[in-house]
Structure 1
C-alpha cells in the first residue's frame, strides 16, 4: 500500500535542543538560537539509560518513557540516540503520523527502511509476507505475526553484528499493524543485544500496557533545575517576567523554553492572566501565535506538512505551490526554521514538537484546510490510498465517486490484512454516499469488522445508524444477529440463546452455507458455553442439518458437537474417526475438527487434529488462532496424561493469548497450567493460578470457565489425597444452582467425583455420579468416557467383584489412558493391602509408582512410594530430571533441537529469532549438565517422552 511513497516527514519532539537564548531590548525580546547539550534535572533518568546500555552484553531490554506533553521525553530519547551512536550501536527509529494511523505497516516500513536490502536473506514465507505487507508485491493477505517474525529476524540479525537501539515515538499515531508487530518484537528482545525505547504522552494507552515493561516516568523539574534551564535559554530575562515564566511553566521543560519566546507586547497581558490556560493549550497558542506572523507561503507549507506527515519534502513543496497558485521553494521554509518551528533537510521537514503540528492544524480556517487537502490529493495521486483520504477530508457533502473509491480501498485493505483500515474507509464511504441502501450496506460491513476487532462500542454505533436506513430483510436479520451475538458474557441466559438460535435459523434460509455456518458456529459455541434448553439445541442442530454441506464438513461437525454433545456425540465421533489429521490441510478446518472431538470427549482423536492444526497455524503465522489451538491441545493432552506436551502448549498459549489480547483464552491456558501444577505436587502454584482466574471471572457472573477453576482445584486436592476438599470443589461443576455449573466439563470430572466421594464417605453421592457416567458413556460411546467408567467402577464395587473390575480395566480399558491407569494401579494396590494381601499388593503398587513417577504426578507418585514401603518394599524418591530443571519454553526448545531442527527452524515454529533460540540453548546446557547440542537427545530420552506438537 506504500509503493512509490517518497521520503516521509517524521514528526518528533525536540523539547531539549535547540533552546532559545532570550534577552530583552526595546519593546520585545531578543532571541538568539544556541544549543544546550545538558539535560537539566535528569540525573536519575540518565542513570537508567546508562544501566540499560551497560547491561547489553548478552541480552537486551525495553523501556517505556512516559510523561506529560513537553516534559522532555524526546530530549531523553535524543540523548539515548547520542549515547548509542557513541557506543557504536546501530539506531533504527519510527514515529506515528495521524494520516497513517489506519495505513497498515506504515510505521514498520519507516522503521525497517534502512535494512530492507537484507530482506532477501529471510526465509521465503517471511520475505514474501514483508513484501506483500509493504505493497512491494501482490499476494494473499499476510498474517501480522508472520510479518512480525520477519521484522524480528531482520533486527536480530543486525543486532548480531552490533547492538541495536530501536526508537519509537508518537506511539498513539502508529497504525494497528505496526503496533502489533512492535509489541511482538518488544517481548522478544530480552536475549538479544537490542534496546527498545518507546515514548508516549500521558493519557494515551500503548500497545504494551500488559507487557510488564520497565517504565520511566518523567516528572516536572525541581525548582533549581527549572531555574537553571530557564537561565540557560533566556539569560537576560527581566526578573518579574522570569518569576512569571517559572510560575506558569510549573517545571515543564518545553514551557520553560517556549514561553519566553512568546513574550512580545501582545502576549504579556495574557501571560499575566489570573486564570491561566492549561499548559498544553497555552503552548499550542504560543506556537500558533508564532505561525501567524510568518509569510503566507510559509504558513501553507507548514499546513501541508501538518496534514500529511507521510509527505516528502518534494510533495510538500508541490502541494503548497498548488495552494498558493505559484511556485513555492524550500527557501520559503526558512522563516519557519528561524522561528524554531521546524528543521529541514534534503528529504524532510521535522516539526520541533507535536504541539506545533497540532497548533497549525487546529487554527487553520476550514476553507484553507480544504484547499490544502485538495492539493495533497493531487500531489500524491500515485498513492491511491493517501490520495483518496485527502479527497475525502476536503469534502463537506456527499460524493459518490469518492465513496466508491473508499469502498475499493476497504476491499484492498481486507485483502492485505488491515481490517481497521478497511472499517475506517467503509465508515467514511457511508458518510459520503446519498443512497440510503448503500449507506446501510456499508455500515453493516463496517460493524461486522468492528465486532471482529473487538470494538463493540463503535460497532454498535454503526448498527444503530444502519437500523434507521433502508435495509433488506437479510441484512436486518444479519445486523440483529451480530448485535446480539456480540455480548458473549450473557450467553448463559437460555432466552438469549434461544433468540440467537432463531435468528441463525432464519439466516440459513436466506444466506449461503458459508455465512449460515459462521452464524451457527457462534450460536453452537454459545450452547456449549451456556445453559440453553433442549429445544434450542434441537433448533441449532436442525438448522445445520438443512444446509447443503457434507456430513463431515469441519464446521458442521463443530456445530453439532457444540450444540448437543450428548445426543450428537456418537455421530460426531464416528465421522471424525474416518478423517485423517493431515498436517498439509487447512489448519482452520483441522482446528474445528479437533475442537469438535474435544467437545464430545474424544480427546484421543482430538489431539492428532489439534497438533496438525498447531503446525499449520505456525507455518501460516496465524498468531491469534494459534493461541486458541494450543489451549485446546493442552487440555486434550492433560486428559491423555501427556504432561510435557500439555505444559509446553499451555505455557506458549498463555503468552500468545495475552499478546493477542485474548484474555479469556489466556485464563484457560493458566487453568491448564494449574491442573498440571497440582498433578506435579506444586499445590501453591496450582492454587495461585486458580485464584487469579476466579478473581477475573467472578465479576462477569456465571461463566463456563468457572467450572475449569473448580476442576483445577479438585484435581489438585485429589493429587494430595485431600478427598473431602476435592469432592467439595468438583461437585460444584455438576450443581445447576452453582455459578460454576457446566455439565460438559462436569463429564471430565465424573470419575474424579466418584473417587473423591467414595474416599470421603459420600457413598450415595458416589453412586449417583457413577450412574451419570454410565448413562453418558452409553449415549456417546466415546473412548474417554468408557475409560473413566472403567476407572470408576471398581472404586464402588463390593469386595467380591472389585478384583475382577480392577483387572478388567487394567488389561484393556485403560491401556491408552496412562494417568487413569497409574491412579487405578495405586487404588488396586491399596485395596489389596486392605484385604491383607500384602505380597499381592506390591506388584500393582510398584507399577503405580513407576507409572506415576514417569508421568511426573508428584503427589500421587509419592503416595504410591509410601504405600509400597508400607508393603515391605523400599524405593528411591524420584530423581529430578529435565522437566524439573528447565522452564516449559526451554524444554520445548531442547526437544526440538534434539530432533535435529536448526535454530532458524525452531525460531520459525516458536515465533522467536534464531539468535534468541541460540541464547536459550546456551543457557540450558549447564542446567542439563551437558556441553553440546549432540548430547540433548540422550539426556531428554531418559526423562521426557517426545510429545512436542
Structure 2
C-alpha cells in the first residue's frame, strides 16, 4: 500500500489483528485519524493482508446515516463458518443502531473467527467504547527529522496531525520554539489563517454561529437544537472543513483551528457565543469558564470562582476541563504567586489526563512566575520524564527536587521516584547512591528505608545482607498503599516466592484502581503481568499486559507502554508464538533505544533470546542471553536469574557446557534458598541437559516438581526434552509416552504442539502421517527432516533442533531425495505443499 507517511508500527498491529481472526481468536480495533492521516489506506492494507479470511467492507455515507446497515447484522453467523474481517470506513456515518450493534460485536468477538476494524476521524465514539483505539499521529513525516520529540508532540497535538497545517507550523517555528525553549504557536501562519477566514466568511448565518460556538467549545449535538440551530448548519460547517462530528459532539478539527478562528472573530460575536455556552452548560465548570472568558485581569473574584470550579473538575476526572479552567484562573489572578500556584494545579490536571507536553509547558510558566516553586516543579518534571521521557534525565531532575524539598515528605517522594528512574535506566550503581540518601533522610518511613537498603544490597550482590530484609518485606501485609504493595511483591519475587509476589501485585492493581492512581496503575499492571508470566500463564499475562499498555497510553506514559510491549513479547514467545513476539519487540525497540530504557531492554533481550531458542538458533540465543546475564550493573538481578534455564539450554545445544555449569551453579544456590518447586524443577531440568548419565533421574524429578508447582507449559517442555533424550538412547516407546503427555499439555499452543508431533513422528509413532512418493514411504526420521527442509530450515538448524549431527542430516536427506524422486530442496518443498493441500481437502478442513 502507498501510505503518505510511515506506518510500520500501525501495519504491525493490523497484522496481529488479522492473525488473531485467522486463528479463531477474534480481535477488534478503531483506527482514529484526521483528514490526510491515511486511515482509509490502512484499511486497504488490512484487506490485502487478510489472505484466507472473508473480507466484508462497508463505508459510511452522510446521506445514508439514517438508513439501517442491514447487511452487517449476520456477521456473527458468517464467522461461525469461516473467518470474517469486517472493515468499516467512515464509521461515523453509519446509522446509530448499526454502529451500536457493531460495537457490541467488537467487544464480544474474542474466541471467534471474527474481526472488526473501524476508521473514524476522531475519538470519543460511545458506540465503540471498550474497543482498542489505534490513534494515527497523522503526519509525523511532515515534520523535520531533527525536531525534538516534545516539539513534534506539541505540534501534532495542536494540529491534530492535519498534514498541511502541521508542515506549515513547522516551517514557521522560531529558533527558540524549534529547540523546545518556547511554546509552539497557537495560531496558524498568515496564509493558512487567511484561507481559514475566507472559508468562515463563506458560511451562512446559522453555520457561522455553529462554527463560532465550536471554536469556543466542543458542542453536544443535542445542544445544537437547544440553541435554535438546525443540523443542516452543522452539515454545512462539516463540508467546509471547519467542524467535525465526533461521536455525539461537534468540534473544530484541531485546537489551532479553533484558536485561529476565535482570534479573528469580532469581540461582540465571540462574547455572545460565550454567553450562549454558559447557559448551555449551566452548573458545569465549563459554564464558569465561559462566563469569565472575556474578563480582563486582574479579577480576584473571577479567579477564585474559576479556581474552585477547576478543582471540582479535577476531582471528577474531567482533566481537560480542569486544565482550561485553572489556567484561566491563573490568567485573572492578581499576583504572580497566586497565578503560579494555579498553573501548578493546571499542570497536575494535565499530567493526570496523560498530556505530558501540556503539563511541562504549565510547569515552566509556574516556575517563571514564582521561583520559590522550583522544588515542586522539578518534582513534577522529574515524574513526567520518568514515565514519558528519559529516565536518566529524570533521575537528575528528581535529585534536584529532593535538594529543594529536603526535610519534607515531598523530598522523600522525589528520592523514591529517583530510585525508580535509576532502575528503569538500568543504573543500579546510581540506585545505591539514592539508597544512601534515603537512609540519611530524617523523615523517611522505616519501611521505605529498609526497602531501599535491601534492594541496593541485592543489586550489589550482597545477598546475605539483603536476605532477611527481603523476607520481612515479602511476608509483610502492605498498608493500604499501592507503592508498599509493589515493594512487598518485588521482595517476594527476588526471594523466589512467586505466588506471594503475584498476590502483592494483584493488591497493588486493586489499590491503584480504587484510589484512582492513574500514574501508578500501569506500573502495578506490569508487575502483575510479570508474576503471571513467571507462574507459566502466558494467556493471562497477555491479557494483563494488554490492559497495562492501554492504561499506559491513556496516562501518557510512553515508557510504561514500552515495558508492557516487552512483557507481551515474553508472553507470546512463552506460548511459542514467535512471530507475534517479534512484532511486539519491533514496536518496543525505538523507545528502548531513544530513551535508554535499561529494564525494558533486558526484558527485550530475554524475549529475543527465547525466540532464537524456539527457532533453533542456539548460538544466537546463547549470545543474547549471556550478554544479558553478564551485564552487571545494567540488568535487574532477578531477571538475569529467571533467564538462566534458557541460557543453560542454549549453551548445552551449542556445545558450551562449561559456561552452562557456571550459570547453573548460581541459579542452584538461589533456587535452593527459595525451596520453591518452580525453580527446583528448572534446576533439575538443567542438570538433566548437562548430565546425560543421570538425565532420567533429573527429568523424573523435574516432572514431579512441575506437577507440584502447577506449571503446565513448562511441564510439557520438560517432557519434550526428556523424550529427545530417550529417543537418542533408543528408548522410542518411552519417548512416545512422554510426547503424548506433552501433546495433551500443548492444546492451546500450536508451536509446541507441532514440536511434540514432529518428535512423535521421529520416535516412530504409527499414528503420524507419512508422505508417500515413488511407491515408498519415508521413515519417521526422514519425514521429520523432509518437512523441516520444506519449511526452509538449513541442515545446521535441523541438526540443532533434532539434536543429531550435520552428517546424519545429510545422509537422511540424500535418501529422502532418492525415495521421493526429487533433485532439490525447492522440488521437495513443492511436493510437501501439494501433499498438505490434498490432505486438508480430504480431511474437510479446507477454506
TM-score between both structures, scaled by the size of structure 2: 0.57
Deviation of the 1:408 alpha carbon: 1.0
Q: 491, 499, 510: which is aligned to 2:407?
A: 510
* Equivalent residue in structure 2 for 1:713, among 598, 605, 608: 608
1:477 aligns with 2:375: yes
| Corresponding position of 1:640 | 535
Aligned: 1:530 with 2:425: yes
Give the C-alpha shift of residue 561 in structure 1: 5.2
Which structure 2 residues correspond to residues 638-717 of structure 1 after superposition, within 5 A?
638-650=533-545, 653=548, 665=560, 667-694=562-589, 697-701=592-596, 703-717=598-612
Unaligned runs of 5+ in 1: 1-42, 67-76, 93-151, 158-166, 173-178, 190-202, 211-216, 218-274, 319-329, 343-350, 878-949
SS in 2 for 1:486: helix
1:463 aligns with 2:407: no
User: Quick one: structure 1 residues 769 and 501, their matched pair in 2 at CA, closer, same or farther if it must change by over 3 Å?
Assistant: farther
1:438 aligns with 2:338: yes
Conservation of the 8 A alpha-carbon contact between 2:576 and 2:751: yes
1:846·1:864 contact (CA, 8 Å) conserved in 2?
Answer: no
646, 659, 671: which one aligns with 1:752 = 646
Q: 1:733 aligned to 2:628?
A: yes
Task: Map Cα deviations across residues 526-585 of structure 1 (whole Å, 9 max, x no partner).
Answer: 2322232535324236517857677668x9859965995665863565235435699xx7
Alpha-carbon displacement from aligned partner over 1:261-310 (angstroms, at most 9, x marks no partner):
xxxxxxxxxxxxxx9996543232345xx87xx9xxx9999989986786
In structure 2, the residue matched to 1:185 is 129
Match of 1:416 in 2: 316
Which fold has the larger relative contact order, with Cα–Cα distance below 8 Å and residues 6 or more apart in sequence? Answer: 1
User: Per the alignment, do residues 183 and 539 of structure 1 end up closer, same or farther by CA in structure 2, a change over 3 Å counting?
Assistant: farther
Distance 1:590 1:866, change over 3 A: same
Judging changes above 3 Å, is the alpha-carbon distance between structure 1 residues 560 and 53 closer, same or farther for their aligned structure 2 residues?
farther
1:13-72: per-residue Cα shift (whole Å, max 9, x none)? xxxxxxxxxxxxxxxxxxxxxxxxxxxxxx995799799823231469896649xxxxxx
SS in 1 for 2:73: coil
TM-aligned CA distance change 1:788 to 1:543, over 3 Å: farther
Name the residue aligned to 2:292.
392
- In structure 2, relative to structure 1, the CA distance for the partners of 1:806 and 1:586 (3 Å cut) is same
1:106-162 CA-to-partner distances (Å, cap 9, x unmatched) read: xxxxxxxxxxxxxxxxxxxxxxxxxxxxxxxxxxxxxxxxxxxxxx99x999xxxxx
The 8 Å contact of residues 525 and 563 in structure 1, kept in 2 or not, is answered as no
1:540, 1:359 → 2: CA distance?
51
**Alignment map for 1:811-822 (pairs within 5 Å):** 815-816=708-709, 818=711, 819-822=713-716
- Distance in 2 (CA, whole Å) between partners of 1:774 and 1:814 is 19
- Residue of structure 1 in register with 2:27 after alignment: none
Q: Distance in 1 between matches of 2:250 and 2:470?
A: 66
Q: 1:519 — aligned with what?
A: 414
Q: CA deviation at 1:411?
A: 1.4
Task: Give 3-state SS (helix, strand or coil) of 2:475's partner.
Answer: coil
| Aligned residues of 1:654 and 1:670 also touching (Cα < 8 A) | yes
Write the distance in 2 (CA, Å) between the matches of 1:764 and 1:168: 56
Is 1:617–1:625's contact at 8 Å kept on the other side of the alignment?
Answer: yes
The equivalent of 2:329 in structure 1 is 429
What secondary structure sits across from 1:284 in the alignment? helix
C-alpha offsets along residues 723-779 of structure 1, whole Å, 9 cap, x if unaligned?
2232133233235499x966553332122112211221123432443354356668x
Aligned-partner Cα distance in 2 for 1:352–1:875: 64
8 Å contact 1:697–1:706 — kept in the other structure? yes
Q: Distance in 2 between matches of 1:829 and 1:52?
A: 59
2:283 equivalent in structure 1: 383
Q: Displacement of 1:428 after TM fit?
A: 2.2
The farther-off stretch of 567-576 and 397-406 is 567-576
- 1:446-490 per-position Cα deviation (integer Å, ceiling 9, x unaligned): 334334444333333333333334343xx3223223324433476
- After superposition, the Cα gap between the structure-2 partners of 1:782 and 1:662, relative to the gap in structure 1 and judged at 3 Å, is farther
1:761-776 equivalences under 5 Å are 761-773=655-667
- SS of residue matched to 2:72: coil
Q: Deviations over 1:230-258 (max 9, x none)?
A: xxxxxxxxxxxxxxxxxxxxxxxxxxxxx
Larger C-alpha radius of gyration, 1 or 2? 1
* Inter-partner Cα distance in structure 2 for 1:652 and 1:316: 39
State the distance in 2 between where 1:689 and 1:867 align.
29
* Other-structure match for 2:198: 282
- The answer on whether the counterparts of 2:455 and 2:466 sit within 8 Å (CA) in structure 1 is yes
Cα shift at 1:416:
0.6
Please say if residues 822 and 851 of structure 1, whose CA atoms lie closer than 8 Å, have aligned partners that are also in contact.
yes
Give the secondary-structure state (helix, strand or coil) at the position aligned to 1:477. Answer: helix
Contact (CA 8 Å) 2:285, 2:309: kept in 1 or not? yes
Q: Which residue of 1 aligns with 2:619?
A: 724
Output aligned runs, 1:208-287, within 5 Å: 279-287=195-203
1:607 partnered with 2:497: no
Classify the secondary structure of the residue corresponding to 1:417: coil
Q: Which residue of 2 is the match for residue 882 of structure 1?
A: none
CA distance in structure 2 between the partners assigned to 1:370 and 1:649 by the alignment: 48
Correspondence for 1:787 among 662, 666, 680: 680
Alignment partner, residue 16 of structure 1: none
Q: Distance in 1 between matches of 2:676 and 2:313?
A: 46
CA distance 1:548–1:781, shift in 2 (3 Å): farther
1:397 partner SS = coil
1:54 equivalenced with 2:70 (yes/no): yes
Cα contact 2:99–2:127 (8 A) shared by 1: no
Give, in whole Å, the separation in 2 of the partners of 1:672 and 1:409: 41
Describe the shift of the 1:44–1:395 C-alpha distance in structure 2 as closer, same or farther (beyond 3 A): closer
Q: Distance in 1 between matches of 2:628 and 2:565?
A: 19
**CA offsets per residue over residues 376-399 of structure 1, 9 Å max, x none?**
699789637345323432223212
Maintained 8 Å contact 1:826/1:864: yes
**2:625/2:647 contact within 8 Å kept:** yes
Answer whether contact 1:734 1:742 (CA < 8 A) is retained: no
Distance in 1, matches of 2:657 and 2:716, equals: 23
Whole-angstrom CA distance in 1 between matches of 2:127 and 2:451? 36
Q: Secondary structure at the match of 1:510?
A: coil
* Residue 540 (str. 1) matches residue 540 (str. 2): no
Distance in structure 2 (CA, Å) of the matches to 1:311 and 1:352: 6
Q: How does 1:573-652 map to 2 (within 5 A)?
A: 573-575=470-472, 577-579=474-476, 590=485, 593-594=488-489, 597-598=492-493, 602-611=497-506, 629-650=524-545
- Looking at structure 2, the residues matched to 732 and 721 of structure 1 have their Cα atoms a distance apart, in angstroms, of 19
Give the Cα–Cα distance (whole angstroms) in 2 for the partners of residues 651 and 352 of structure 1: 31
2:741 to 850, 857, 862: 850
Aligned to 1:486: 384
5+ residue gaps, structure 2? 1-58, 77-85, 109-117, 134-141, 143-151, 158-162, 164-190, 239-248, 770-847
TM-score (norm 1): 0.52
2:214–2:251 Cα contact (<8 Å) kept: no
Cα pair distance change 1:859/1:573, threshold 3 Å: farther
Superposition deviation, residue 427 in structure 1: 2.1
